[in-house]
Every structure is written in C-alpha cells, then in structure tokens.
Amino acid sequence: MYDFAPTDTADKATLYADLISAADALTGGEPDPVANMANVAALLWQFLPDLNWAGFYRLVGDELVLGPFQGKPACIRIPLGRGVCGTAAATRETQLVEDVHAFPGHIACDAASASEIVLPVVQDGHLIGVLDLDSPRVARFDSDDAAGLEALIAVIGPRIS
C-alpha cells in the first residue's frame, strides 16, 4: 500500500518536489505505461487543489485518445490542433489558459472547467500524448504550475512512452 500525501502548508515548489518524488517512486521500475499514467493521474488529483480533471490523452495515429484520468467522463478523441489539448499536441508547447471560454476552439468536455493547463509529452523527438489538467477556477494555473508539471513530465515521460 502506498500512502503519499502533500504537505498542507507546502509552497508550490515543495508541493511539486513532493509530487515528483511520489511519481518517481510509483513509476520507477514499472514498465507498463498505462499503469504509470493511471498512478500519476491519481497523484495529481490528490496533490493539486482545485482540479476537476487530471489525466492523459495518448497520441494514437493522428489524434489524441483518452487515457487514464481522474474526474468526470471526458471527450474520447481530440483532433490535433483542436482545443487546448490538440493545440499543445500540434505545437508541442505547454498551453496555460487562464479562461478556457476565451480560448478559440475550446472543447468543453466539462462545462464546469474554467481554466486549463496542457503539457505535451515528447520522448526522443516523438509526441506520446499530453497531460491535461482542468480547474473550475479561472486563472488556477500559473508559471509555477507549468514549471512544476514540466519537471514532472521530464521524470515520467520515459515511463509512459
């Protein structure tokens, strides 16, 4: 049994360091990418406040397909270049969106989502998929979240490809 928990009084740097440490412990030595994505999605859900969705979309052929996640049921397939996830996949750049309703072409899988951050997962020059986090709070994510999640992807990326 694993018992990972964030420190209640942790600043973001400490929170992400603890999250990355937990993800490293859970995924280290496990070769199954789906199992690793599932555990990381669960950790994100547990560690990060004010989320209503946390999980992965995998690149399958020329579209993103729903992977392991925590939250309400989600859109199953997303074309590259469409919505926040498709844009992150197409550009291979982190998309930090303070207000999803202002994002051109936003795909509303959950009407409660107000802000979103999506990070591409790229290994050996190949797009594997994206990590997607949604919040019901406008401007929930900032550059500290982007940096922390990019550091997380650097550790787990090879374990989910």
Q: What would the pLDDT profile of 56-91 be if each residue is shown by its tens digit?
A: 999 999 999 999 999 999 999 999 999 999 999 999
Q: What would the pLDDT profile of 105-129 be if each residue is shown by its tens digit?
A: 778 777 789 999 999 999 999 999 9
pTM for this prediction: 0.94
State the chain's mean pLDDT as an integer.
94
Q: What would the pLDDT profile of 7-20 be if each residue is shown by its tens digit?
A: 776 799 999 999 99
Nearest alpha-carbon partner for 103 in 139, 71, 70, 127: 139
Given a cut of 60, is residue 133 above it in pLDDT? yes
Find the length of the chain. 161
Q: How many CB atoms sit inside 10 A of residue 86's CB? A: 21
Ramachandran angles phi, psi of 67, nearest 5°: -120, -165
Q: Which residues pair with 56 in a beta bridge?
A: 131
> What pLDDT, on a 0 to 100 scale, did the predictor assign at position 108?
77
